[in-house]
Structure 1
Amino acid sequence: SSSSSSSSSSSSSSLITSPSLSNAKTLINALASNPRTPTDPQFHNSVLYSYSAIAPLDDALSLFSYMLKSLPSFSPDRSSFHILITHSCKSGSPLRAVDFMASHGFAPDPATADIAVRGLCISGHEEDAVDFVRELHSKHSVTPDRFTYNFLVKHLCKSGSMSRVYGVIDKLEKWVGLKPDLFTYTILIDNVCNGKNLREAARLLSELEKKGFKPDCYVYNTIMKGYCTLSLGNEVLRVYKQMKEEGVEPDLVTYNTLIYGLSKSGKVKEAKKYLAVMAEMGHFPDAVTYTSLMNGMCREDDVLGAIRLLGEMEAKGCSPNACTYNTLLHGLCKARLLDRGMELYGVMKAGDMKLEPGTYGTFLRALCRDGKVAEAYEVFDYAVESKSLTNVTAYTTLESTLKWLKKAREQGLAV
C-alpha cells in the first residue's frame, strides 16, 4: 500500500499547471531522476495532456520531443499524438500536430480525422474543419468516415445558412469524394423543418429519392412535425398518406404527430378516427396522443368532451401526465368551469405536478374574477413551492392579475 500511495502522490504532483516550457522541462527532469516515477503510458499521457491543455501548440510539441529524449520509459502511442491534435484544434490548426504524428511513424487514420473535425467544430472553427478535410486527404490520403462527415454537416447546419451548407457538401464531394447519404438528408430535412421552410424539405425529399435512397419513418415524421408547426393539418395528412403509399410503416411518433397536427388545425373529429387506426396497427395511444386531442377539443370549446376523454384514457390504463392536466385546467378556466378546475388542481397538487406558466396565469385570472383571491394566493404559494415558475415570475403574474381585477372593478367592467 505504501508504494501505491507514493505512486499516486507522484502522479498528482506531475500534472503541469503552468504554461512555461522551462518549468515543464524541469518537472520532466525531476520525473526522470525519480525511481518511483510510474512507467505506464497512461501516466505519461496524463502529463502531456495537462501541459497541452494550457500551452501553445509549439511548446506542447517541444515538450513532447523533450519527453522522448529525457524519459526512457516514454513510448508514445497513437493516443499520445491524439492528445496533441485535440488541443491544437482550439487554435484552429490541427494539421501541424497531424504532420508531427506522421513524422514519428504514426500514419493518420479516420479516427485522427474524427478527433480533429469534432475538435474544430466544438471550438467554433467549422470553416477550418472543412479545409482540414481537404488538406488531410491531399497530404495523407485519409478521408473521414460517414460519422465524421455527418457530424460536420450537422454542425454547419447549426451555425450557418443552408446555401453555405450545400456549398460545403458540393466541395467535399469534389475534393474527397464524400457524398450525402440518407442520414445526411435527414439532418438537412430536420434543419429546414426547424426553420419552417417546408418547401425546401419537400425538395430534399424528392432529391434523396432521385439519388436512390428510400426515406424512412424518421424522415417522414420530421416533415410531418414541420407542417404541425405551421398548423397545416391537411399537409400532415398528405405526408402520412404518401408514407403509407411508399410502404413505410408508421410508428407511434407518426400517429402522435398526425393526431397533434390535425387537432392543432381544428380537425379534431378526423384526428379522433386515428385512435382506432393506430391501435389496430399495434401502437397504443399514450398521454401525448390523448393530450393533443384534448388540446384540440378545448380550442373548439369542447372542454367537457376533453374531460370525458380523460375518463376514457384512464379506463384504458393510460396515465395522464402533468401536460394533460395543464391542458384541461387551462380549458376549464377558459370555459368558466372553475369548480371543475379546482377539483382538477387538487389532483395535480396531490400528484406534485407542476403548473405551466400559461395555465398558472389563466387559473389566477379565473380565481380572481370569481372573487377567490385567497385561493389565488394559495396557488401562487404552490407554484413557487413546486418550482413551476421562478418566484419573480409567479409574483409578477399574481400582482398584474390583482391590478387587472381592481381596475376592471373600479371601471365597473364585467370580468
Structure 2
Amino acid sequence: MPRTIGSGPDDDIFITIVRGFGRARLIREVIRVLDLVPKFGQGTPSLKLLNTILDVLVKEDIDIAREFYRKKMMGSGVKGDDYTYGTLMKGFCLTNRIGDGFKLLQVMKTHNVKVNVVVYNTLIYALCKNGKTGRARSLMNEMEEFSDVTFNILISAYCNDNNLVQALVMMEKCFSYGFVPDVVAVTKVVESLCDKGRISEAVEVLGGVEAKGGTLDVVAYNTLVKGFVKAGKARAAHGFLKQMEMKGCLPNTETYNILISGFCESRMLDSALDMFHEMKRVGLHWNFVTFEALIYGLCSEGRTRDGFKIFELLAGSKEHGGCRINPYNSIIYGLYKENCLEEAVQFLNYMRNLFPRAVDRSSRILGLCQEGKPEDAKAILDNMIQEGSLPSALVYATLIQGFCKGGCVKEAVELMKEMIGRGYFPVASTFNTLISGFCRQGKVGSGLRLMKDLKMRGCLPDSESYGLITNGFCRQGDLQQALTLFMEMVERGIIPDYYTWNGLILATLEGKKSFQENELLQGLIDT
C-alpha cells in the first residue's frame, strides 16, 4: 500500500475515476478500478461505486454490463437496489432487448424487490416505441402506482397509433389520478383531434389542461391554430390568436405563418397582408416561409403585382441569402395566370444568376417544344425533377401544349396532373389545348369530364372551352348534349363565340329541325 498518501481515497474519488475512464471509453480500466479499492484499505466496493461502473458499462455495451452485474455484483453477493435494476432496464430497452427487460422484471419480483415506477416506465416506453402499445397497457395494469410520465408515454403512443379514443381515455385516467399530462402529450392529442376535424374538442382539451394547472406552450397553441386553418376556419384561427395573448402565451413567427397561409388558402388576401404587416409591428421577424406563403398566395389569385412587392422585400432581406426557387416560380405562375407570357420568360432569364442550371434547363425545354420536340423536352424535365429541381408553371404549360400539338394527349394529361400536384392550376388557354386534343380524337366525353374536373379544382373555363366541347357534340350528332352545355355556358355569363353559334346552327339544320321546332335553341336566340 502506498505510504505517501496521508489518507486513502474515499468512494467519491473512485467514482470520479470511473466516470473519467468512461468518458475516455476505457472500459477495461473502468472495471479494474474495483481492484484498487482493497489496495487502499477500503474493503469491499460500495453499491454506489458498483452502480456507477454499471451505468458506464450500460452506455458502452449492454452485454459487458450484464456480465459485470452477474459476476461482480451477484457473484459477490451484492443485492442491487432500484438504481441497479433501473440502469439495467434502461440498457436493455435502449438496445431494443425487450425480452431481456421482462426477464429482469421477473428477477426483481423473484428476489422480492419492489419494482418502482421508473423501471416500469422504461419498459412501457420501449414497448410503445416498438408499436406494442397494447402490451404496454397490460403492463400498466401490474403497476401499484403511476407517475405523470406513465400517462404521457401511453397518451403519445395511442396518438402515434392513430387510436384517438384510447388516447382520450388515458387522458381522463391521468386526470382521475391527480396528474396533468405534459405539453408534448397534450399537443399530440390536439393534433390528432384536429386531423380528424374535431376542432371544438381540441379547444376543450386545451381548456381542460389549463383549468387543472397544466402548462401549455406556443407549439400547442400553434397546433390548434393549424387545425382551424386546415378546417378552412382562418378567421376563427385569428380569433384564437388574441386568446393566446390574453393567456400570456405570445404568438411566434410560425403562428403568423400558419395564419398567413390560411388566409391565402381561403382567398382572404387582404387579411394575409394585414398579418404580414402586423408581424413587423409586434417585433417578429419575417422568415423565408412567411415570404414564400404570401408570394404564392397573392400570385395564385391574380395579384401578381402585390406578390412582386413582397418579393422585392424578400430580395432585400437577409432571408434572401439562402433563397430557394419557390418564390421565383410563384412570380412566374402569377404572370402565367395573367397570360403575360413574355414577362414570364423575361423573369425566368432574370433568375439566371441565382439559378443558372434551372434556368438553362427551363429555356431548353421551351426551345425544344417550339421545335416540335416535346419528348426531348420531357426527358430534360425528368432529369430536373430527379435532381430535386422544381419546374415552373411556364415549363409545364409549354410541355402540355407541345404534346397536344403532336397528338400525344395522354402524355399531356399526365403532365397536367403533375402540374396541379405542384400547386400550379392551368389557365383556360392551357387546358383548352387538351380539350381540343380529346375532341380531335373523337373523345368529346373525355374533354367534358376534364373540364368538369378542372372546374371543381377552381380552374375557370372560357368560351373556347365550352365551344370546343359543344362543337364536338354537334359533330357527333348529339344536339341535346350540345344544347345542355350551351345553356350552362350562358347561365355562367360566358358569351358564346361565332364558332359555337355556327356549330349549333349547322347541327340543327343537319338534323332537319327548324329553330321553331327546337324550343331550347329558340329561347336562347330570343334571349
TM-score by length of 2: 0.56
Q: What do residues 325-382 of structure 1 show as CA deviations (whole Å, max 9, x unaligned)?
A: 2221231232243343344334334313555787676566556763332145455359
> Of the two structures, which has the highest relative contact order with CA contacts closer than 8 Å and spacing of 6 or more?
1
Q: What is the distance in 2 between the residues matched to 1:107 and 1:261?
A: 53
SS at 1:414 equivalent = helix
Matched, 1:279 2:279: no
> Given the alignment, which residue of 123, 128, 132 partners 2:95?
123
* Structure 1 residue 122: Cα displacement: 1.9
* More displaced 10-residue stretch of structure 1: 374-383 or 128-137: 374-383
CA change 1:378–1:164 in 2 (3 A) is farther
Matched, 1:340 2:306: yes
Q: Which aligned pairs between 1:10-409 and structure 2 lie closer than 5 A?
A: 41=14, 46=21, 50=26, 68=35, 77-78=49-50, 79-84=52-57, 89-90=62-63, 94=66, 97-98=69-70, 100-104=72-76, 106-139=78-111, 141=113, 143-144=115-116, 146-171=117-142, 173=143, 177=144, 179-215=145-181, 219-243=185-209, 251-349=217-315, 350-353=317-320, 365-366=333-334, 370-371=344-345, 372-378=347-353, 380=355, 396-398=388-390, 403-409=395-401
* Structure 1 residue 117: Cα displacement: 1.6
Q: What is the distance in 2 between the residues matched to 1:221 and 1:123?
A: 28
Counterpart AA for 2:355: F
Q: What do residues 86-128 of structure 1 show as CA deviations (whole Å, max 9, x unaligned)?
A: 556248x827624531433644222222321222122221221
Gapped regions of structure 2 (runs ≥ 5): 1-8, 360-382, 406-427, 431-527
CA change 1:402–1:335 in 2 (3 A) is closer
C-alpha contact 2:358 2:384 (8 A) present in aligned 1: no
C-alpha contact 2:225 2:258 (8 A) present in aligned 1: yes
* Structure 1 residue 298: Cα displacement: 1.0
Q: What do residues 139-178 of structure 1 show as CA deviations (whole Å, max 9, x unaligned)?
A: 372635x44433332222111231122133334x2xxx4x
* Structure 1 residue 273: Cα displacement: 1.7
CA change 1:148–1:141 in 2 (3 A) is closer
Q: What is the distance in 2 between the residues matched to 1:359 and 1:138?
A: 66
C-alpha contact 1:90 1:119 (8 A) present in aligned 2: no
* Structure 1 residue 265: Cα displacement: 0.9
Counterpart AA for 1:404: Y
Counterpart AA for 2:319: D
Q: What is the distance in 2 between the residues matched to 1:357 and 1:87?
A: 45
Number of corresponding residues: 356
Counterpart AA for 1:167: S
C-alpha contact 2:96 2:126 (8 A) present in aligned 1: no
Q: What is the distance in 1 between the residues matched to 2:95 and 2:76?
A: 27
C-alpha contact 2:295 2:331 (8 A) present in aligned 1: yes
RMSD between superposed Cα atoms in Å: 4.2
* More displaced 10-residue stretch of structure 1: 184-193 or 347-356: 347-356
CA change 1:249–1:82 in 2 (3 A) is closer
Q: What is the distance in 1 between the residues matched to 2:114 and 2:224?
A: 44
* More displaced 10-residue stretch of structure 1: 259-268 or 210-219: 210-219
Q: What is the distance in 1 between the residues matched to 2:28 and 2:136?
A: 32
Q: What is the distance in 1 between the residues matched to 2:177 and 2:327?
A: 48
TM-score by length of 1: 0.69
CA change 1:398–1:290 in 2 (3 A) is closer
Q: What do residues 202-233 of structure 1 show as CA deviations (whole Å, max 9, x unaligned)?
A: 11122223444345665543321222333433
SS at 1:260 equivalent = helix
* More displaced 10-residue stretch of structure 1: 202-211 or 295-304: 202-211
Q: What is the distance in 2 between the residues matched to 1:272 and 1:244?
A: 20
Q: What is the distance in 1 between the residues matched to 2:39 and 2:220?
A: 61
Matched, 1:414 2:429: yes
Q: What is the distance in 1 between the residues matched to 2:222 and 2:18?
A: 53
* Structure 1 residue 397: Cα displacement: 3.1
C-alpha contact 2:193 2:199 (8 A) present in aligned 1: yes
Structure exhibiting the larger radius of gyration computed from Cα positions: 2
CA change 1:223–1:319 in 2 (3 A) is same
* More displaced 10-residue stretch of structure 1: 350-359 or 134-143: 350-359
* Structure 1 residue 266: Cα displacement: 1.0
C-alpha contact 2:329 2:392 (8 A) present in aligned 1: no
Show the counterpart of 2:492. Answer: none
* Structure 1 residue 131: Cα displacement: 2.1
Q: What is the distance in 1 between the residues matched to 2:79 and 2:384?
A: 58
SS at 1:154 equivalent = helix
Q: What is the distance in 2 between the residues matched to 1:51 and 1:204?
A: 43
C-alpha contact 1:236 1:262 (8 A) present in aligned 2: no
CA change 1:180–1:263 in 2 (3 A) is same
Show the counterpart of 2:380. Answer: none
CA change 1:44–1:147 in 2 (3 A) is closer
Counterpart AA for 1:168: L
